[in-house]
Chains A and B, each alone.
Chain A
Amino acid sequence: MSSLGLQIMLVGALVGISSSFLGSFLVLRKNSMLSDAISHSILLGIILTYLVIKQTTGPLFIIGAALSGVVTVYLTEFITSTKRVKNDAAIGLVFPALFSIAVILINVYARDVHIDIDAVLFGEIGFIWLDTTAFLGLELPKSLISMSIITLINLAFISIFYKELKLSTFDEALAKALGFKPILLFYSLLTLTSVTAVTAFDAVGAILLVSFMIVPPAAAYLLTDKLWRMMAYGSLISLGSSVTGYYLALYWDVSIAGMMAVMTGIFLILAFLLSPHYGLIAQEIIRRNQRFANEERALLVHLFNHETSHHQNEENIVTALQEHLMWNGERSRNVLMRSLNENLIERDGEVLNLTLKGRAIALEIMQPWQKHFLNETNLNSK
């Protein structure tokens, strides 16, 4: 493994990790699409700031460019607050307008603005080594250093305000009542989102950023109910996507940032299918088990209702199940097999009888007070 490849994967992972911290809150607050809006409209901030200060690096540039992300959020919230436009429509109005202005500015100042439209879209994570600087005696890509710094900043923000963020995410009204400032926290979160977007811009481009910010937390959300675990899993998924995406991109000779973004989607699909509790397969198994249990209980109740009547020989036979419970042959055979296996019923020629275990279950369903009564008599007899 070349150290160049290692650096690229590190940058990709750091983009994902730093964005996942913030993205977790966006996903939980149902504001995912704000990251889409921010990542589009920072293009305007980048160009305007560049036209003013004539450089594309440094803290001043990052703050100036990030401002446009905050402005986007503010405009969206403002338009929504007039109650003339729904929130989602407001998002869809603001960012295309700002993005359009940015593209027109690129057209107008084509000679001054050396921003490659391709780089805006794909990012240039494969070329990070072109722009290096000495750090602790090592020659490292600038984006690696800036992404490390932004990851630390985001981590610090989340750690310091963990309790406040958690409360305002899950119960904003309570947070407000307790004197926290949920709106201020919300804007701080989105300011950091903008700063992260600007910093990651060189590496992964504007539009792919959503893949790094929303998709890993969304996948993590399918795996856990704990907030800190969601962020941890999100970071692991980012790391995994970065590594696998890098090698696949090399293998197929395609965009590295694009392939990393695709991999976050693949991890989401995997989580969606395989998550131990919320996954599609797990849910399907749970549903099937519930159906099985219901069928068995229906059978037991049916047998229980007729076991002392003189219809027993007509009702409690295999063929009656098809007519009275409307089960087709295969279904009644399966139910019988399972019930026999679990020792709930036993066969006596054609007639089906409840076992003690089966009768106890049926009794509990049909006469739940009996259990209570039995318990009480037991107590009394002691």
Chain B
Amino acid sequence: MPDLFTLLTDFTIRNVTLGAMLLGVSSGVLGSFAVLRKQSLLGDMLSHAALPGICLGFIIVGSRQLLPLLVGALISGTAAALFMLLLINRSRLKTDAAIGSALSFFFAIGIVLLTYIQSNPNANQAGLTSFLFGQAASIVPTDLWILGSISLVALSIVLLFWKEFKVVTFDIQFAATLGFPTAFLEIVLTSMVALAVVMGLQFVGVILMAAMIIAPAVAARQWTERLELMVFLAALFGALSGMVGAIISALARGLATGPVIVLCASFIVLISLLFAPNRGLLWASLETQRQHNALRSRQVLGNLYKLSLEHKNPAYRVEESMMNVYYGFNTRGIFGRLEARGFIKQSSHMPEEGRHWELTNQGMSEAKAFLSSLGQAELADV
């Protein structure tokens, strides 16, 4: 197995890595808007719908040049998007059925065209099916220039229309009242998703491209509430999954690049969903646990106080096992935490065995404060 250094200096692998990173950046940035506009599956639809365009591009040009195929993909993607919009706006079908119908109809046409090409002997047709799953290794420097220029154009458009895109994404009615051409901006945003999809066809293929639109954006969304940072992080995550995916698939020869890149992106999503501060599921469950414990501790403290009140004995000793029975679970941890905060102290109650607890002065005042905050001041005032 070659080491990492030779890998990165290898011409093809460097090209692939660079290309995958370019793709990651653009799909991350453009995907952010799609995900926020609840159009995640648009990417899925557009990528499946690219297939007939690729085939038509091939049939017309007669060889596997990148640019004509990409133009074909863009055209058929646009046609599918229009078909979908027509179904949504002029029929009673809902968005999901319209997306599913447009996706499968165009993909089926693509499959038919693909088999049509295959049934006509043509030396150049090799590698056309690679658009289904992507074939990163076939990339040549000219392709990189094409991809680079497309990314540059897409990113410049985003920077240029930043304010407009932001308003359209979050509050389209407000954008309309401000006099922005909302329909035009929506079309631009949608066509840019199509552009990102088209770029990814060679790396991850039509089937998996949806993930490259969605995953970096969803991952980035977990870390921030700000669009600027989200778009930046999405670009970063996209580039990272592109780079790592390309390197892994080069190290372990025989692994298709596209799926590895997609799995890297999915992994970043998983990490983000679990560990991102505030929104991360792990933090959320820790916070829930903390609040749960705090509430329990206060309940137990309050009950200790009430018991001492009932028995007219400030130093009334409560047996731990009795509290276990009362609450129906083990209170050991709660007593331990209360002790650590100095609210209770352990004491014995001879001749009875078992652990007993009594309130300290500090615990007494804490319990009073807690009970009066619950509106049980008459108990606390005693």
Interface residues of A (CB under 8 A from B): 27, 30-33, 35-36, 40, 79, 82, 84-86, 88-89, 91-93, 96-97, 99-101, 103-104, 107-108, 110, 117-118, 121-122, 207-208, 210-211, 214-215, 218, 221-222, 249, 252-255, 257-259, 261-262, 264-265, 268, 272, 278, 280, 283
Contacts and interface: CB of A to CB of B under 8 A. Distances in A.
Given A93-B215, A121-B132, A35 B41 contact: no
A117 B133 contact: yes
Interface of B: 35, 38-41, 43-44, 48, 86-87, 90-97, 99-101, 103-105, 107-109, 111-116, 119, 129, 132-133, 207-208, 210-211, 213-215, 218, 221-222, 254-256, 258-260, 262-263, 266, 269, 273, 279, 281
24 contacts: A30-B94, A32-B97, A33-B100, A82-B281, A84-B222, A88-B39, A88-B40, A91-B41, A92-B211, A93-B215, A93-B266, A99-B208, A100-B208, A100-B260, A101-B259, A103-B259, A104-B256, A118-B129, A210-B100, A258-B112, A261-B104, A264-B108, A278-B92, A283-B90
A359 B336 CA distance: 92
A265 B101 CA distance: 7
Contact of A278 (B43, B91, B105, B213): B91
Question: Which 4 A-B pairs give the minimum distances between C-beta atoms?
Answer: A265-B105, A96-B211, A261-B108, A100-B259
Given A82-B273, A85-B273, A100-B260, 17 more contacts: A32-B99, A84-B281, A88-B40, A89-B40, A92-B210, A96-B266, A97-B263, A100-B211, A100-B258, A103-B256, A103-B259, A215-B105, A222-B91, A258-B109, A261-B104, A265-B104, A272-B87
A211 B110 CA distance: 13
A208 B107 contact: yes
A222 B104 contact: no
B119 A254 contact: yes
Given A85-B218, A255-B112, A96 B262 contact: yes
A186 to B, nearest CB: 15
Contacts of B269: 93
Contacts of A211: 104-105, 107-108
Nearest to B214: A92
Residue of B38, B93, B101, B218 ringed by the most chain A CB atoms within 10 A: B101
B100 A262 contact: no
Contacts of A35: 100
A92 B105 contact: no
B211 A97 contact: yes
A255 B112 CA distance: 5
A262 B108 contact: yes
Nearest to A217: B97
Nearest to B276: A84
A92 B40 contact: yes
Contacts, number: 197
Contacts of B39: 88
Contacts of A110: 254
Nearest to A89: B40
Contacts of A92: 40-41, 43-44, 210-211, 213-214
A253 B118 CA distance: 10
A92 B210 CA distance: 6
A31 B44 CA distance: 15
Contacts of A36: 44, 100, 103-104
A36 B107 CA distance: 12
Residue of B97, B104, B132, B213 ringed by the most chain A CB atoms within 10 A: B104
A211 B106 CA distance: 10
Contacts of A265: 101, 104-105, 108-109
Contacts of B218: 85, 89, 93
A218 B93 contact: yes
Contact of A122 (B44, B115, B215): B115
Nearest to A260: B108
Contacts of A30: 94-97
Contacts of B111: 121-122, 208, 255, 257-258, 261
Nearest to A275: B91
